[in-house]
Amino acid sequence: MKHLQLPLSKEDIKRLHAGDAVMLSGTIYTARDCAHKRLFSLLDAGMPLPFELKGAIIYYAGPCPAKPGRASGSCGPTTSARMDSFAPRLFDLGLGAAVGKGEMCEEVRQALQRNAACYFAAVGGAGAVYGNAIKKSECVAFEDLLSEAVYRLEVENFPAVVAMDCYGESVYQK
């Protein structure tokens, strides 16, 4: 099990290989379907994004509301394939890594290779475990989208597997 402190440098990413089990600690940003559409509208309009994309890590997730006394509600990954059409452009603009569940498409695989980036799979359905790994959560954009808004999360020991690495290798069968 590798413990990784976020953000990841290109050297960190080059040391990761598909199938490696990792624990992530540091800052990640949630964004799923609707938030990606809004991020793209901002990019198309030449406007700044609500967070610095270079080196950032996007988590495809939409949390439950937090119970009193907790930083976050349950917050496991959503199906990454729905973000297939968005991810390559974001990697080309500097996105460091994505976290979600399930396979992503060929264009994403190429974008990861082109940009020395990687894709982590969290365990889908383990919402309570991931909610517990979140120590701080703050909405940074699109609050009207409720659970689909962009949240900045501080995570500790967030379990994941390197699903697609920067060498074009994937943990999923062909």
Q: Could you tell me the smallest distance in angstroms from the CB atom of residue 10 to another protein?
A: 26
Rounded to a whole number of angstroms, the minimum distance from the CB of residue 135 to another protein is 16
User: Toward another protein, which CB reaches closer, 64 or 116?
Assistant: 64
CB of 41 to another protein, least distance (A): 13
Q: Which is nearer to another protein, 7 or 73 (CB)?
A: 73
- In the complex, minimum distance from the CB of residue 148 to another protein, in angstroms, rounded to a whole number: 8
In order, the DSSP letters of the chain are: -EEEESSPPHHHHHT--TT-EEEEEEEEEE--HHHHHHHHHHHHTTPPPSS--TT-EEE---PPPPPTT-S-------BGGGGTTTHHHHHHTT--EEEEBS---HHHHHHHHHHT-EEEEP-TT-HHHHHHHEEEEEEEE-GGGGGGSEEEEEEEEEEEEEEE-TTS-BSS--
Q: Which is nearer to another protein, 115 or 132 (CB)?
A: 132
Contact footprint for another protein (CB under 8 A):
19, 21, 33-34, 61-67, 73-76, 78-79, 81, 101-103, 121, 123-132, 145-148, 159, 161, 171-173
- The smaller minimum CB distance to another protein, of residues 103 and 165, is found at 103
